[in-house]
Amino acid sequence: MEMPTILKYTFLIHFIVSIIFGFVFFLIPEFYSDAVGWPFNDPAATRGLGSAFIGFAITSLFGYRATSWEEVKIVVIGEIVFTLFGLLSMVWMMVVHATIPALFGWLYAILFAVFFVLFLYSYFVATR
């Protein structure tokens, strides 16, 4: 089965966004926390998150280069789960911790939500 066009572009955009955030979180976590006013500064946890973002970025790059749905199905399911829980955790943090900078917190929540919808929509288009 052929891969939906929207999924191909979702993979490409997701690769770009994830690789940028991934390397920022991985390479300069302290600078990032200071620059955006993030109230939590745990370089080890931030680097771990950066590693996850880089990993998902690479799977998205391979997804973009793939030609069939069968090659990317499991990656799409993983992205759906990752973006859903990323969205839920970000909204949870924004509600529970008023110290999180609203602009960046909601930006991340929106990014997770957009990718969740795009990957979920692509899944349903590909499996119908």
Could you read off the pLDDT of 75-99 as tens digits, one per residue?
999 999 999 999 999 899 888 877 7
Q: Could you count the other beta carbons within 10 Å of the beta carbon of residue 32?
A: 19
Question: Tell me, what's the pLDDT at 94?
Answer: 84
Angle of helix 5-27 relative to helix 43-65, nearest 10 degrees, comes to 150
Structural domain containing residue 46: 5-127
**How many other CB atoms are found less than 10 A from the CB of residue 104?**
16
Structure tokens at 19: 């690789």
- Per residue in 40-80, pLDDT (tens digit) is 788 898 899 999 999 999 999 999 999 999 999 999 999 99
pTM over 0.95: no
Per residue in 23-32, pLDDT (tens digit) is: 999 999 888 8
The number of folded domains in the chain is 1
CA dist 73 → 64, 108, 120, 126 (Å): 12, 25, 11, 9
